[in-house]
Amino acid sequence: MRRIPATLAVLALATVTTACGTLSPPGEQSVAKARLVDDRPVRDGGTLTIGLKSDPDMLDPSLTSTLVARTVFASMCEQLYDVDQHNKFVPQLADSLPVLTDGGKTFTFTVRRDARFSDGTPLDAAAVKTSLDRHLHLEGSGRASEIDSVRKVTTPGTYTVRLYLKHPDTPLLGRLANTAGLIMSPTAIKKYGKKFATHPSCVGPFTYEKRVIGDRIELKKDPLYYDADKVHLDGVTYKTITDGNIRMANIRSGDVQVGDQMGPVEVRSSLGEKGVQLLNTPSLGYMAMTLNVGNTHGISGKPGTVNSPFGRDVRVREALDLSLDRDLINKLVFQGMYAPACGPVPPGTPLSTPTPCPKRDVPKAKRLLKAAGVKTPVPLELMINTTPEDNRLGQVIQAMAKDAGFDIRLRPTEFATGLSRTLAGDFQSRTGGWGGQPDPAGNIDSLVGTAGSNNQGKLSDPVIDRLIVEGRSTADTAKRREIYRKLTLAINKQHSVLYLYRNINYVSASTDVSGIKLSGDGLIKAKEAGYVKGSR
């Protein structure tokens, strides 16, 4: 029988005693079955308030790097393509799937003719070109490496866009169904430049009204939206409430109607509760612990060498990896309601293969540290978000790693500050997540490729870079599946991104509201949401 260290046993008790209420939910409230939509009839009018787990960073599609910003964009900034509830790519601002020619090196599509940006500027091919060029060339763009296969963007027709690629890039469609496919008003781009985030203008059911940093973002219904007759709400407000228990309390009081990224403790506490409903879908992303192995000049700089045991010797990183028990993390921190993550490829998707998680092996971890010649305990500062859930996760990692000879010091850091420090390379390690995409390239290329614009730890490995190119260059499913199997092994061999768990996207909501939809990638779609007829 596996022995649980005393520290972990105390944490387990604390986690269990914070969850109250029934654990036997009726039918549709089950956490075991995905529920992506509530489609009861709604009335017109009212403002929906959605509680967010953290404050979004810049509301600029080129510069953002957070999932919560994508959640806001889902209401105000449409993409060329979208991910439906079955994880299939469908046109959104584009009105057709792309046509590939020249061996996959030319990517052509047409755009809608009935759309206007919130500032009145018509959507056309030239507007799309302006946004894609900005994604590619704006200094600090997080999209640059995501679509770096694009050599040139042209507009052979008023509503026709043609991308000339440096090489065939099968995952490009998936990236254009994500942040790289968000299209901005060219008028607003020209007028505001890098200050676009304070005056964002896109095509969407709602348009930006105002923001109070650290508190809320207010959107109002956009009368220029091409599908405005399907929009019932007068507006949507996104309110930052980092504590999940407080988000749930606000749903119960009626101050908030929807809670995003609800944790297992809060979900368990509300199952079967009158007035609260649950939507959920498996995540395409992951949560991980990232070690800074090369971020010496900031996220936009070239990889360097971090002068630490973790930066100098992969054996030290492997020892840390072997100190962790992912199954036990899931049980202690998340009540078994998530799943251990062993790599970046979403399980159950066409390109996934079974990936065994490394088993906890403290004796081997100690041998590796001895072989590396480092003095124990090995110190490491771990930056975590300032939420109760992240604090529990940090404490469990701290306790497990201590058994193997590590002295982990937790550094709780407000989300925006932590992100700024990470991008600047001012961190040793941090916990954080990636929202995920159906195509595994969206979970890999920009995050661990040497030139990746989201490669926070600046891992640089020629084997990984070569496999990334191979994964892009073929459309053969069997070949790509094998490439991503090898990629997962190569990434895990470096032990610089320690994949910890794959969450379930839990969204709690008042039963007074309906029409909420979750996309396959877990984003809340409020376009057709509203208050149920007859509700207050």
What per-residue confidence (pLDDT) applies to 2?
A: 44
In a domain, 420, yes or no: yes
Structural domain including 158 reads: 78-198
235 and 214 in one domain? Answer: yes
In a domain, 104, yes or no: yes
Residue keyed to tokens 């304070």: 198
Backbone angles phi, psi at 52, to 5 degrees: -100, 150
CA 370, 372, 373, 377: dihedral to nearest 10 degrees? -60
Number of folded domains that form the chain: 3
- Whether residue 376 contacts residue 470, with contact meaning beta carbons closer than 8 Å, is answered with no
430 and 496 in one domain? Answer: yes
313 and 274 in one domain? Answer: no
Backbone angles phi, psi at 449, to 5 degrees: -70, 145
What per-residue confidence (pLDDT) applies to 1?
A: 37
455 and 341 in one domain? Answer: yes
Query: How far, in Å, CA of 178 to CA of 497, rounded?
Result: 22
153 and 35 in one domain? Answer: no
| CA 411 to each of CA 139, 235, 517: distance values in angstroms, whole numbers, following the listed order | 30, 37, 36
Its sign, for the CA torsion 293, 295, 300, 303, is negative
In a domain, 12, yes or no: no
- Whether residue 337 contacts residue 266, with contact meaning beta carbons closer than 8 Å, is answered with no
358 and 486 in one domain? Answer: yes
273 and 219 in one domain? Answer: yes
What per-residue confidence (pLDDT) applies to 25?
A: 33
In a domain, 256, yes or no: yes
302 and 276 in one domain? Answer: no
The set of residues, in sequence order, having a beta carbon less than 8 Å from that of 462 and lying 6+ positions away, is: none
Alpha helices in 138-205 (DSSP H): 172-175, 186-192
Tens digit of each residue's pLDDT, the chain (536 residues) = 344 444 443 343 333 333 332 222 333 344 556 777 788 899 999 999 999 999 999 999 999 988 899 999 999 999 999 988 778 899 999 999 999 999 999 999 999 999 999 999 999 999 999 999 999 999 989 899 899 999 999 999 999 999 999 999 999 999 999 999 999 999 999 999 989 999 999 999 999 999 999 999 999 999 999 999 999 999 999 999 999 999 999 999 999 999 999 989 899 889 889 999 999 988 888 999 999 999 999 998 999 999 999 999 999 999 999 999 999 999 999 989 998 999 999 888 889 998 888 899 999 999 999 999 999 999 999 999 998 889 999 999 999 999 999 999 999 999 889 989 999 999 999 999 888 888 899 999 999 999 998 999 999 999 999 999 999 888 899 999 999 999 999 999 999 999 999 988 899 999 999 999 988 778 899 999 999 987 76
**pTM of the full predicted structure?**
0.81
Alpha helices in 5-124 (DSSP H): 6-17, 67-76
In a domain, 135, yes or no: yes
Domain boundary among 161, 176, 198: 198
102: domain CATH number is 3.90.76.10
| CA 464 to each of CA 240, 371, 441, 450, 455: distance values in angstroms, whole numbers, following the listed order | 37, 26, 12, 8, 13
Return the CA Rg of the chain.
23
484: domain CATH number is 3.10.105.10
| CA 238 to each of CA 76, 288, 456, 518: distance values in angstroms, whole numbers, following the listed order | 12, 26, 27, 16
In a domain, 71, yes or no: no
312 and 458 in one domain? Answer: yes
Strand order in the sheet with 429-434: 339-340, 497-502, 286-291, 429-434, 378-385, 406-413
In a domain, 290, yes or no: yes
Domain boundary among 155, 170, 198: 198
182 and 211 in one domain? Answer: no
Domain boundary among 178, 198, 218: 198
218: domain CATH number is 3.40.190.10
What per-residue confidence (pLDDT) applies to 281?
A: 86
In a domain, 10, yes or no: no
List the structure tokens of 386.
């300032």
What per-residue confidence (pLDDT) applies to 31?
A: 53
271 and 134 in one domain? Answer: no
229 and 147 in one domain? Answer: no
